Amino acid sequence: MTATNRRPDPYRGSEPDRTSTDVRTACLLVSSRYPEATGAVLGGSAARGRSTPSSDLDITVLLPDDGRRRREVLRYEGRPAEVFLNSRADLRTAFEESRTTRRATALFLFADSVVLHDPHGHVGALHREAEALLAAGPDPLTEPERDAQRALLTDLWDDLTDTGPDSDPYEQLAVADRALREAAHLLTAHHRKWNGAGKWLPRRLSAADPELGRRLLDGHLALARRADPGPLSTSVLDVLNLAGGPLREGYVTSR
């Protein structure tokens, strides 16, 4: 089993190139543990040449149509690996679900990947589908979804503006973290761009709105470093205003 279709990567820069070793290890893992595979790709940081010795290998394995969908976390030749096993139907379902969840983990893992194994052309077809769905962006928020997000972010904005240098620092940080997360959700949805979690939240946020996204991130950092809620509070309000403004009185929802 050999890797094919290596895609150009604009992120590699001058960082050490571990890709060749990562690809060889991933190929050996797939061929030794999953001989029934009808396709496989390596995604994540290893596919971009940005892995470190502690990075895991994010591998998606295509199973025959009757294969059992599952996720396996293991170690192979000293490298941690996270393997997602799916049939083509499973993957297409995951692709479509990304449009409503707006966190396209499966799409990005598959589209930004190195092909490890594709004897029947299934990987190539799914790769094109993933790229098309990523380019189209997630579904827009419905009006009830947008209002629910506005109401939630308004509550968080009120809590944030009530904090100051004398506030409980644990509470202040907890509010700031949640405010950043929900503001990122609303801002990326407003632009019909993909959202993220963990280290991918700032990356997706900056890609969706470089100016306001950066101000949200800088505001969060200012609060963490100086207990100053002002910059983050101002940026959260800017997000709310983009989506119709704060929502308090008159908001009704069924429970």
- Tell me: pLDDT of 119 over 70: yes
- Tell me: pLDDT of 198 over 50: yes
pTM of the model: 0.81
Q: What integer pLDDT is reported at residue 121 of this predicted model?
A: 94
Q: Which two tokens stand for residue 245?
A: 């403004």
**Percentage of the chain with pLDDT > 70?**
92
- Tell me: pLDDT of 237 over 50: yes
pLDDT digits over 13-67, tens only?
Answer: 333 344 588 899 999 999 999 999 999 999 888 887 777 777 889 999 999 998 8
Tell me the mean pLDDT in the region 164-172: 85
Round the CA-based radius of gyration of the chain to a whole number and report it.
21
Q: What integer pLDDT is reported at residue 7 of this predicted model?
A: 38
Range with the poorest average pLDDT among 13-17, 196-200, 238-242, 245-249 = 13-17
- Tell me: pLDDT of 164 over 80: no
Q: Which two tokens stand for residue 68?
A: 């059992």
- Tell me: pLDDT of 251 over 80: no
Q: What integer pLDDT is reported at residue 106 of this predicted model?
A: 86
Confidence of residue 99 (pLDDT cuts 50, 70, 90): confident
Half-sphere exposure of 186 (CA within 13 A, CB side): 33
Q: What integer pLDDT is reported at residue 192 of this predicted model?
A: 95
